[in-house]
Amino acid sequence: MSNWYNACNKTASLIRNTIPSQYHSRTFSGIIGDIKVLSSKKAQSLFNRKKGLGNQYAYLYLTQGIDYGRGYQACAVEALRDVLGHGLNKILSGNILDVGCSVGVTAGVLSFNQIVGFDLFPDLLKTAKLVDSINRTQNYYVAADMTHDWPFERVFDSVVCGMVCHHLKEQVDVITFFRNVNRVLYRGGSLIITLPAGSICTTVQLEHVMSAVENFGFKTDRKLSGLVRSTDDSRSLFWMFQIIAEKITDKTGNMFISSDFGFQQYRTPETREEKGDKARTTIKSVRCMKHNSFELIGIDEMHRLFREKNLVFPVLSACFFIP
């Protein structure tokens, strides 16, 4: 087990005492749900007013989002590493920017040192620094809002956006986001996007997101972009989407976005209550698992396998569904 996972566990014990008791009952999905529905400004002001709530968020991140690689967020980075194999070193190299870095998940799981990460919530970044100090690594963290101009110039070789783009609520946010990705990257630099299960519903929607990325000066890699899923246990399925692209020009296209494009519209049509019920019933069986093998189904293969079908896979066997 990596030192970073141990450092996360130690950090969780340290920050536990700093959380006011009224926030102990706040759940991970509840806090993330609040962030998703609020504007960045309102989410920031919520965390400013409710001192200590940010530490509960960080604590839940460490114990449930990471949880020695069993948490969804850590598993997503392990899955990315697994499916990219040796190619990962080429795609994620040089000066790296981690957008929406939270407690430093990408750097931690991939054992990176000296990368730059930014996130909206300073409590997460403080926690990331604490984990780094225990792990004897030094990454650089900045508090910033991805829906405003990013506080960086063109200095990065790779930008990684792990599980963050679905937080972009308005079209104007999507435009600001991709313009900034283009602006901070060198030409030839890489962009890695992962999106969680349920954030988009169909293969065609993933194709639209890829076209949007292309409109902002990138060439997407169709072999490396698609659906990633675990292959090792039929009772507990991990799955997500990934897009890998290379910046080919500084020029960005016209406002690419048709009015029906948007992460808000693409989300699986499920109410928060339904999601909560599902999480409660599946959490025990899913969270005790650590996945060790993954497979990438490229976008062209996704078209062939799933056509217009909704991409909802409750168990591994559902992934083999041929319409």
CB of 303 to ligand SAM, least distance (A): 27
Which single residue is written with the structure tokens 């829906």? Answer: 147
Give the residues across from 155 on adjacent strands: none
What are the backbone angles phi and psi of residue 194, rounded to the nearest 5°? -120, 145
**Smallest distance from the beta carbon of 265 to ligand SAM, in angstroms?**
18
Which residues ranging from 76 to 95 are in contact with ligand SAM (CB under 6 A)? 76-77
In the numeric block, the tokens 């509960």 are attached to 56
Applying CB under 6 A, the span of 131-139, 161-169, 262-270, 280-288 interacting with ligand SAM comes to 161-169
Among 110, 120, 195, 245, contact with ligand SAM (rule: CB under 6 A): 120
Q: Least distance to ligand SAM from the beta carbon of 305, Å?
A: 26
Residues near ligand SAM (CB under 6 A), total:
21
**Positions 14 through 53 that interact with ligand SAM (CB under 6 A):** 35, 40
Closer residue to ligand SAM, CB minimum distance, 77 or 184: 77
d(C-alpha 222, C-alpha 220), whole Å: 6
Binding window for ligand SAM (CB under 6 A); candidates: 5-13, 114-122, 150-158, 212-220: 114-122
Tally Cβ neighbours within 10 Å of residue 226: 25
Amino acid, single-letter form, for residue 316: L
Residues sharing a CB contact under 8 Å with residue 235, sequence separation 6 or more, in sequence order: 285, 289, 315, 316
Shortest distance (Å) from residue 142 CB to ligand SAM: 10
End-to-end CA distance of the chain: 40
Query: Out of 162, 189, 217, 226, which residue is the one contacting ligand SAM (CB under 6 A)?
Result: 162
Residue from 54, 100, 108, 226 touching ligand SAM (CB under 6 A): that is 100
User: What is the Cα–Cα distance from 261 to 268, expressed in whole angstroms?
Assistant: 14
35 vs 302 by CB, closer to ligand SAM: 35
Cβ closer to ligand SAM: 67 or 119? 119
- Considering only residues 112, 121, 238, 256, which one is a binding residue for ligand SAM as defined by CB under 6 A? 121
In terms of phi and psi (left: phi > 0; alpha: psi -120 to 50; beta: otherwise), the region of 314 is alpha
102 near ligand SAM, judged by CB under 6 A: yes
* 188-247 positions binding ligand SAM, by CB under 6 A: none
**Rounded CA separation 20/40 (Å):** 23
**Residues 260, 82: Cα–Cα separation, whole Å:** 34
**Cα–Cα distance measured from residue 47 to residue 85, given in angstroms and rounded to the nearest whole number:** 38
SS (H, E, C) 32-51: HHHHHHCCHHHHHHHHHHCC
- For the beta carbon of residue 125, count every other beta carbon within 10 angstroms: 24
Is position 147 an interface residue for ligand SAM (rule: CB under 6 A)? yes
User: With respect to ligand SAM, which residue has the nearer C-beta, 124 or 224?
Assistant: 124
| Interface residue list for ligand SAM (CB under 6 A) | 35, 40, 73, 76-77, 100-102, 105-106, 119-121, 124, 145-147, 162-164, 167
